[in-house]
């Protein structure tokens, strides 16, 4: 009887632990709005019930150019027609990429958590960056105004 009670208690504790330990969530899926809008025909698919992280990267040759870009840039983003509030707050800090002289550059990401989708659900992202002044990124000049004409559009569907 005593052994039966110990086994029952042990099984009870193991079951409780198994229920209480959270399962590891899937890694978020990064959807590059530029890549989707320009290279994927404006459509991409993500796994259902996975956190979606919308991203847009800007590269420059020097850190000062990244800082100047961030000072000049204004993001306009809509998800399913709803404006993203204060979208410039989603810019990250510039980070240096590359380790060979002449092949180093600075990259900063705009990164927005867009939630999850159930199978078959979609969300439509419209994205635009405007510049208050003319900008040199170390590779080419960008005139003041819209960077993309028309704005980038990406339809994301969950599989």
DSSP codes joined into one string, 38-97? IISTTEEEE-TT--EEEEEEEEESSHHHHHHHHHHEEEEEEETTEEPSSGGGGB---EEE
> Per the domain annotation, does 140 fall within a domain?
yes
- Among candidates 87, 89, 62, 69, which has minimal Cα distance to 147? 69
> Per the domain annotation, does 42 fall within a domain?
yes
> Per the domain annotation, does 80 fall within a domain?
yes
Give the range among 33-47, 62-76, 99-113, 145-159 with minimum mean pLDDT: 99-113
92 within 8 A of 67, measured Cβ to Cβ: no
> Per the domain annotation, does 11 fall within a domain?
no
CATH of the domain at 66: 2.60.40
> Per the domain annotation, does 85 fall within a domain?
yes
Query: Residue 147: CB partners within 8 Å, gap ≥ 6?
Result: 128, 129, 130, 131
pLDDT, tens only, 29-88: 999 999 999 999 999 999 999 999 999 999 999 999 999 999 999 999 999 999 999 999
Query: Residue 57: CB partners within 8 Å, gap ≥ 6?
Result: 32, 34, 107, 108, 109, 110
Q: In the chain, how many domains are there? A: 1
Give residue 154's domain range.
Answer: 26-158
> Per the domain annotation, does 96 fall within a domain?
yes
> Per the domain annotation, does 8 fall within a domain?
no
> Per the domain annotation, does 134 fall within a domain?
yes
Residue that wins the pLDDT comparison between 103 and 111: 111
| pLDDT exceeds 60 at position 16 | no
- Determine the average pLDDT of the residues in 105-132: 97
5 three-state secondary structure: helix
């Amino acid at each position: 009887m005593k052994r039966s009670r110990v086994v029952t208690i042990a099984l009870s504790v193991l079951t409780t632990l198994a229920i209480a330990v959270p399962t590891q969530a899937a890694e978020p899926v990064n959807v590059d709005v530029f890549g989707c809008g320009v290279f994927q025909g404006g459509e991409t698919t993500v796994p259902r019930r996975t956190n979606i992280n919308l991203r847009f990267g800007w590269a420059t040759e020097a850190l000062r150019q990244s800082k100047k870009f961030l000072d000049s840039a204004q993001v306009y983003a809509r998800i399913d027609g709803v404006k993203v509030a204060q979208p410039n707050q989603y810019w990250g800090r510039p980070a240096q990429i590359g380790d060979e002289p002449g092949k180093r550059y600075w990259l900063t990401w705009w990164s927005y958590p867009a939630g999850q989708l159930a199978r078959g659900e979609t969300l439509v992202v419209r994205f635009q960056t405007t510049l208050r002044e003319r900008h040199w990124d170390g590779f080419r000049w960008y005139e003041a105004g819209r960077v993309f004409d028309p704005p980038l559009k990406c339809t994301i569907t969950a599989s």
